[in-house]
Amino acid sequence: MSLSGSLITPRLLRALWQTALAWGVFALVLGILLLVWPTISIVVAAVLFGVYLLVSGIAQVVAAFGADESAGTRVLFFITGALSVVLAVLAFRNFGEGLGVLFLAIWIGVGFIFQGVSETVLGISYPDLPGRGWQIFLGVITVLAGMIVLASPIDSIVLLAIVTGICLIVVGIGQIVKALKLRSGIGRAAPAA
């Protein structure tokens, strides 16, 4: 039994592992692109990160409405997803206005922090979650990535691309590993009530 009073169901695990896998692959690919092409322009970087935030935000909003979870967990998923979508809209809306690197760094850092907090709370709330250690570890790493991006005095788009690319690769690999751990636990999860 979890702290929220719900058992991990196969349905929840399917949603979690599919979301984690999609987010992990996208983060890994985006991170590699940023490292391979660090001179990426601010416009392209804003659009790519906007897509990343939009995809992960929509996935979390869908999970908030589709999960058979406690109200607190659903609210956390919804708030995290909605904030990611809002940040994505800001990235798309303002990418052509020559926004500075600082604003892009803030979007990236805040997005990482919201995602990381959501991951950590989910891992802490469900002691029976397969790969729970990975869930909590990845949440903490994602929060740290956000803090690094926010705290680091990023003066150029090249440095921002490199720092963000490294963070995305680490987060992407962690998400893929977590997705595989979650998938392996589907058969052991309690059947949905």
What is the structure's pLDDT at 5?
47
- Residue pLDDT, tens place only, 170-185: 889 988 988 888 888 7
**In three state form, how does the secondary structure of 87-98 look?**
HHHHHHHHHHHC
Strands (E) located in 104-190: none
The DSSP code sequence of 107-151 is HHHHHHHHHHHHHHHHHHH-TT-TTHHHHHHHHHHHHHHHHHHHH
What is the structure's pLDDT at 66?
72
What is the chain's mean pLDDT, rounded? 77
Q: Which residues have C-beta within 8 Å of that of residue 37, sequence separation ≥ 6? A: 161
- Residue pLDDT, tens place only, 29-70: 988 988 888 766 556 766 777 787 788 888 888 877 876 667
Q: Is the pLDDT of residue 192 over 70?
A: no
Q: Is the pLDDT of residue 140 over 90?
A: yes
What is the structure's pLDDT at 3?
44
Is the entire prediction scored with pTM above 0.95?
no
Domain boundaries, the chain: 12-181
